[in-house]
Amino acid sequence: MKAKNLAVLGLQWGDEGKGKIVNFLSDRADAACRYQGGHNAGHTLIVDGKKLVLHLLPSSICHENASSLIGRGVVVSCDALFAEIDEIESYAKGIMDRLKISPACTLIQPYHILLDQLKEKSNSFTTIGTTLRGIGPAYEDKVGRKAIRIVDTLSEPKLDQKLEETLSYYNFLFKEYFGVKELEFSEIKDKNLEYGNKLLPLLSDISNEIFTINQAKKRVLFEGAQGALLDVDQGTYPFVTSSNCSPAGIASGAGCGPLDVGYILGVVKAYVTRVGEGPMPTEIEGNLGEEIAKKGGEVGATTGRPRRCGWFDAVSVKRIIQSNSVAALCLTKIDVLDGFESIKICTDYKQEESKKVFAECMELDDVNPNFIECEGWSEPTAGINDYDLIPENAKKFINKIEEICGIPVDIISTGPDDASTILMNKEI
């Protein structure tokens, strides 16, 4: 039986190929919903042979029969949102009729971006290697109960009061702590009022939209941004993003009940990549790492930074699976490993027994990975969309991942386009 709803999330450090898979699965749902993160995300899809990179819009946006929802857990930069709509409009006809945004979303303001940049530059703070988009400071304001939400931009007196309170705090910080110029109140206020007007026709009660879709026995596809190892609670803290990008974030960020999430598909690359700072136990140094990065085109879709590459880390993936009700895996980029003589999978961390109590802290800088080696395959998997044509050793590699992770691989991806996809479970 098909699940009520479905969720597609990354189980590593992001860039697992979520965008391609959400676009691929979009005709199985009546709406797709982003529920956390912001324009730090970069989701790549191929539509009519053209590569599109989405940052804020759900990756279903080119499907005319599916609505695109942005839930209250997303932090919205209006500059980024409207630039993306303009860029994508010709590929997503009627976009303004099917895009709906929660008025409860926090807005990213110029002071968030400035603070993100100042902190990353300063020697007094740990460098995280953020996307410099103001994501962290915007979530800080949300949790600190001083965020300006979309709804606040619809009333001038309310906006005046909230902005005055918040901006005076930031300007004190900028002037007294960082020694930089303060930001102008009126400029920020006018922009907010302008964007409030522009957003008005797109606003909707997203929580109720989801409820109504489900009442009509239709389905929502929840699209995660980033990956579970970047989750602020479950990831490699402090080298994480500032939201819950694991399934735990869906109910609060989209506005549905935890039991309504349905089938959870964890997207994993056949290896692993990471952009920015932070530990990565299976990182491959030197030529081999560079070769994988080159073959996989591992360059950040948002910031253009090179992605660090490592072997598939089954320990961290298993940890996420066990505490997140992940039903199955989607294994992407297996084609990038075509032609390698031997491929490693990390199955265990060598770690002192006394340190195991701290495993939940995910401070992975002092763990040593144990690997198993799988024999590579010389015949290509690239572009294959029939499981029977997959080389035997590649099948063994896929089976090994299933066996170690304890859940099935329901989708195999062998290239960036939809045609290069093998649907193993027809019930999705």
* Residues making contact with ligand GDP (CB under 6 A): 10, 14-20, 42-44, 297, 301, 332-333, 335-336, 413-416
Q: Count how many Cα atoms sit within 13 Å of the Cα of residue 238 in the half-sphere of its side chain.
A: 7
Query: For ligand GDP, which is the closer residue by CB, 234 or 413?
Result: 413
Q: Is 43 a catalytic residue?
A: yes
Q: Kindly list the distances between the CA atom of residue 258 and the CA atoms of 230, 248, 325, in Å, as whole numbers in the listed order.
A: 21, 8, 11
Residue 209 binding Mg ion, by CB under 5 A: no
DSSP per-residue codes, 134-199: SHHHHHHHHHTT-PPBGGGGG-HHHHHHHHHHHHHHHHHIIIIII--PPPPHHHHHHHHHHHHHHH
Find out whether 112 and 138 touch, Cβ atoms under 8 Å. Answer: yes
b/e burial code for range 396-427 (CB count within 10 A of at least 16 → b)? ebbebbbebbebebbbbbbbbbbebbbebeee
Instruction: Return the residues of window 34-53 that contact Mg ion according to CB under 5 A.
Output: 42
Distance in angstroms (rounded) separating the CA atoms of residues 298 and 379: 22
The tokens of 359 are what?
A: 């495993």
Smallest separation, CB 24 to ligand GDP (Å): 10
Is 359 strand, coil or helix?
Answer: helix
Distance in angstroms (rounded) separating the CA atoms of residues 46 and 348: 36
Residue 301 binding Mg ion, by CB under 5 A: yes
Q: Is 39 a catalytic residue?
A: no
Choose from ligand GDP, Mg ion, ligand IMO, none: what does 369 bind? Cβ within 5-8 Å by kind: none
Query: For ligand GDP, which is the closer residue by CB, 248 or 292?
Result: 292
Instruction: Return the residues of window 110-169 that contact ligand IMO according to CB under 6 A.
Output: 128-131, 133, 135-136
- Secondary structure letter of residue 96 according to DSSP: H
In this structure, the number of other CB atoms found within 10 A of the CB of residue 180 comes to 13
Looking at 12-20, 84-92, 173-181, 285-293, which segment touches ligand IMO (CB under 6 A)?
12-20
Is 72 strand, coil or helix?
Answer: coil
Looking at 153-161, 176-184, 223-231, 314-322, which segment touches ligand IMO (CB under 6 A)?
223-231
Choose from Mg ion, ligand IMO, ligand GDP, none: what does 333 bind? Cβ within 5-8 Å by kind: ligand GDP
Residue 296 binding Mg ion, by CB under 5 A: no
Q: Which of 30, 39, 43, 141 is catalytic?
A: 43
Residue 266 binding ligand IMO, by CB under 6 A: no
Q: Which residues bind ligand IMO (CB under 6 A)?
A: 10, 13-15, 40-43, 128-131, 133, 135-136, 225-227, 230, 241-242, 275-276, 301
| Active site residue ranges | 15, 43
Q: Which residues bind Mg ion (CB under 5 A)?
A: 15, 42, 301
